[in-house]
A and B are shown apart, each in its own frame.
Chain A
């Protein structure tokens, strides 16, 4: 009798183990399923765009022509140049500002209400919808500062948009630098600014770099804040060149030029009723996706290598 109850207990526990295995398997398959759907979506978005935009993508004219009323002749040269110049302005403004703010918050900020305010503010800014930045730009840069619907306005707007990304990345990079590095530098007689400039900043550079790339990748794909400043216009010309043959060799007229960028060109084409323009939109989407995915992949690669280095 004791024997049979032992056997029953064994059967019972075997049943429980088997049931647990089944739920484990179920949970694992749910996880894999979600991942699979996400992967499928990413690939189907990309392949779908590639298939519909293929005719334009393999046509070199697409990259050298201006937008046009005739879909077969329309190209994205003004959008490519516009995106590049806007990104240049964004990078020049957002990188120094974001890195400096991040350094201040990690290395200098005293523990007081002002620091708390700045910190809460940065995390809140990261959650403000991008179109609100567009309204800020419309009300402040376009009308109050009279900067107009220009490359400068667009660059400024996107710089503010990605500022929190760069600040957060800088802070994380700076925080991960061991205290010993700073102490060693102080021990050699360096002052605070020297420690920050010559030791902390160089050591944090790869981490900051990943944040900058992720931020710029986001900025290059943003359309909403630029539409509100009125950038959705027909641009069939290029801004003046930033460089010239005569002294002083650099030229800042391009900053005040009207512009278009790739996501806006895409939006423009996708909003047209004619399906021929959708082909152009798909091709632009492929170019945009390749660029942002490549930038994000670069950032991930740098971070993974960095992590391996730290180990």
Chain B
């Protein structure tokens, strides 16, 4: 048998053979393995982050649910954690959260869909190349800035049109949030539309369809699961968005879906409690984690549906 190493790339076995050049290969094999392990550790560490999140949320929620029965938590319509007679009806916070997210979607769905159709089916490549970076730029604006804008510019502006609008309300943050998630939803749904095979469009044109009809009756149905995924993921972002609502939506836990009144969302409640000095281990402290758990589960649900739809869409094309 020749003593030439069988494979330099996979130099694992060379350590068994003696000699100067083999010692070199042996050292190399060792460092190769060390590097691979280090890289693996880094990738595995990302799993630890998720485990850490789940651990923290559940650990601090357990003592909370020992004191507050789950049925009360889910059905009560009062949220008064620091009152003497504290009540914990999380639906109070959830209703405001969903109201803001719904307003955001009312803005983002037509605007995002219109923009995506325009970019994917109408715009020439040059314009598209110019618009995409611009959308990224829009995505990069810090959310505190949007919150400031919603409270001190948009709300006063809307008050001149809608006299009954409170200083803190759900409408202004919802509208701002719609614009905030617009770049994301538009670019994800545009990606979905563009990955619809050209042959489908050409088939439509061969039947004498107009460009609009191809877009509306061929491209959108074909890309529907990808587009739905875009808006579900956008909704998830709106639900988890914090600073805009913490600044502009107010901090009163009101059950209801009135966009003209202010109400605390889940995220705004967490911020509000974190701003005060919460005694570690008190029920108010634990309620923050219980609210966080609800938020985590809602966004997780949306994300999983979104990922599932996106993956299914990718498998089709």
Contacts and interface: CB of A to CB of B under 8 A. Distances in A.
Interface of A: 16, 19-20, 23-24, 27-28, 30-35, 37-39, 41-42, 44-45, 48-49, 52, 96-98, 100-101, 103-105, 107-109, 117-118, 120-125, 127-136, 138-140, 143, 160, 163-164, 167, 186, 189, 191-193, 196-197, 214, 217-218, 220-224, 227-230, 232, 263, 266-267, 270-271, 278, 281-282, 285, 288-289, 292-293, 295-297, 300, 304
A189 B8 CA distance: 7
Contacts of A281: 148
A50 to B, nearest CB: 12
A101 to B, nearest CB: 4
B243 A136 contact: no
Contact of A296 (B57, B140, B152, B270): B140
Contacts of A138: 56, 274
B246 interface: yes
Interface stretch (B33-41, B68-76, B80-88): B33-41
A127 B243 contact: no
Contact of B133 (A23, A164, A167, A304): A304
Given A24-B211, A193-B31, A131 B292 contact: yes
Contacts of A128: 53, 240, 296, 299-300
B212 A23 contact: yes
A95 B115 CA distance: 34
A125 B46 contact: yes
B78 interface: no
A202 B3 CA distance: 34
A270 B148 contact: yes
Nearest to A104: B39
A289 B137 contact: no
B43 A224 contact: no
Contact of A300 (B46, B133, B142, B148): B133
Determine which residue in B41, B135, B141, B236 has the highest number of CB atoms from chain A within 10 A of its CB, and name it. B141
Interface stretch (B117-125, B158-166, B191-199, B256-264): B117-125
Contacts of B296: 128-129, 132
A31 B114 contact: yes
B182 interface: yes
A132 B46 contact: no
Nearest to B129: A304
B136 interface: yes
B145 interface: yes
B133 A129 contact: no
Given A101-B42, A108-B40, A221 B142 contact: yes
A97 B140 contact: no
B26 to A, nearest CB: 12
Interface string B16-54: 000000000000110110011011111111110110110
B141 A118 contact: no
A117 B50 CA distance: 11
A131 B42 contact: no
Contacts of A37: 111, 179
B295 A228 contact: no
A281 B143 CA distance: 13
A189 B28 CA distance: 12
Nearest to B32: A193
Given A101-B39, A223-B144, A270-B247, A118 B118 contact: no
Q: Which 4 A-B pairs have the closest CB atoms?
A: A31-B118, A129-B240, A221-B142, A139-B56
Nearest to A269: B148
Contacts of B149: 45, 48-49
B212 A27 contact: yes
A45 to B, nearest CB: 5
Nearest to B241: A129
Contacts of B15: none
Contacts of B306: 127
